[in-house]
Amino acid sequence: MLKIRSSLAFEHWPEPDQQLWDQALRGGDLLTDSRPAARWASRTRETVREGYGHWLSWLKTHDLLDPAEPLSLRCSPARLLAYVRSMQEGLSRATVLNRVIALERALCVMIPDSDRSHLRRFINRLPKQAMTSHKRARLQDPAALVELGLKLMRDAERGAHKNIRKNACVYRDGLQLALLAMRPLRRKNFTDLALHRHLIRELGGWRIRIPATETKTGEPVDVPFPARLVPYLERYLAHYRPLLVCNRYCGDRLWIGYGFKPQAAHTLGIRIAQRTEIAFGRPVNPHLFRDCAATSIAVHDPEHVRAAAAVLGHRSFATTERQYNLATSLKAARDYQTQIRRLRSSPE
């Protein structure tokens, strides 16, 4: 079975699909309520549109995309099963789940009266426990992530590479690791940090400010830059960033790549995963830093566990607890191992 290679671009969607999507995003007027999708953040719209485009791409690849066929009939259980199996050949469980969820959300706003019960059954049946276990196995204490970042910056200062620009990349990676562990922003916001726009110099330090229009939840971010990292930030700005810019980039983006231009989110994510895999044996991607932060607070400071919502920029603690807090199962595993050690050491 052919694999799904890309999402079908919106301009190549069938005309009825384009019209329904546009209607779903249209705001209301004095007489009509706005559709739910009209209140979605731009990132959510993009994710759902892309997920629906993957579904259309799969249908087109298999000669099943009939513009005249009602959208609700396209998602028959047999077709959806074939779609899921096709994705499972080469995609992660999380990606498969996210694409099916995006398809269900798209149909929810495009055809609100459609029967999506079989889609929801597929979502509920797709394996999530293995995903959670895999995620839990990759968790690291934020303190260890900070220490890794500091070590990389020390290595750069000692001249880990003879190439000074490669050294600058090592220092940048270290600063990113330490900052992300202490301020676990979403990857796009972290990648897009810009001097004087998001990173503001204040008396005695710096501050990170991201307007609500640029965040996934629509909540602004306004937090102090970690005092412990201020000397490292200023060293990066004064010495290492200019080495990476090399008078070829005049913009304000904080993170600069080896190719004299701002780092892309994908590249930044790969570098973070590579650095952590070398250090810990398992990769910690940027989004997982958020799980690490929430779980660490729940394990080490349970009295202030609700602070995790503020750290992660969630509107409510329920979101933090549902999506990121793996502390309960982690604590259970530790208690079990402790009990095993006690049994082994006790006399028969």
User: In this predicted model, what pLDDT tens digit does every residue of 107-128 receive, in sequence order?
Assistant: 888 988 878 888 888 888 776 5
- Going by pLDDT thresholds of 50, 70 and 90, the confidence category of residue 260 is very high
Asked whether residue 278 carries a pLDDT value surpassing 60, the answer given is yes
Percent of the chain with pLDDT over 70: 77
CB atoms within 10 A of CB 101: 18
User: Could you give the angle at the alpha carbon of 160 between the alpha carbons of 159 and 161, nearest 5°?
Assistant: 90
- Going by pLDDT thresholds of 50, 70 and 90, the confidence category of residue 228 is very high
Higher local confidence (pLDDT), 290 or 246: 246
Asked whether residue 29 carries a pLDDT value surpassing 80, the answer given is no
Higher local confidence (pLDDT), 106 or 302: 106
Element (H, E) at 222: strand 221-224
Asked whether residue 326 carries a pLDDT value surpassing 60, the answer given is no
244: left (phi over 0), alpha (psi -120 to 50) or beta: alpha
What number is the average pLDDT over the span 219-225?
A: 86
Asked whether residue 345 carries a pLDDT value surpassing 60, the answer given is no
Higher local confidence (pLDDT), 25 or 3: 25
Asked whether residue 288 carries a pLDDT value surpassing 50, the answer given is yes
Q: Dihedrals φ, ψ of 117, to 5°?
A: -65, -40
Asked whether residue 212 carries a pLDDT value surpassing 50, the answer given is yes
Asked whether residue 50 carries a pLDDT value surpassing 80, the answer given is yes
Q: Token digits for 344?
A: 């082994």
Asked whether residue 3 carries a pLDDT value surpassing 50, the answer given is no
Q: Which domains are seen in the chain, by residue range?
A: 10-127 (1.10.150), 142-285 (1.10.443.10)
Q: What is the DSSP string of 112-141?
A: TTS--HHHHHHHHHS--HHHHHHHHHT---
Beta pairing partners, 253: 194
pLDDT per position as a tens digit, 164-211: 999 999 999 999 999 998 888 889 999 999 999 999 998 878 999 999
What integer pLDDT is reported at residue 327 of this predicted model? 45
Positive/negative CA dihedral, 72, 74, 78, 81? negative
CB atoms within 10 A of CB 330: 16
Give CA 229 to chain center in angstroms: 23
d(CA 112, CA 115): 9
Give CA 155 to chain center in angstroms: 28
What integer pLDDT is reported at residue 127 of this predicted model? 64
Percent of the chain with pLDDT over 90: 40
What number is the average pLDDT over the span 236-244?
A: 97
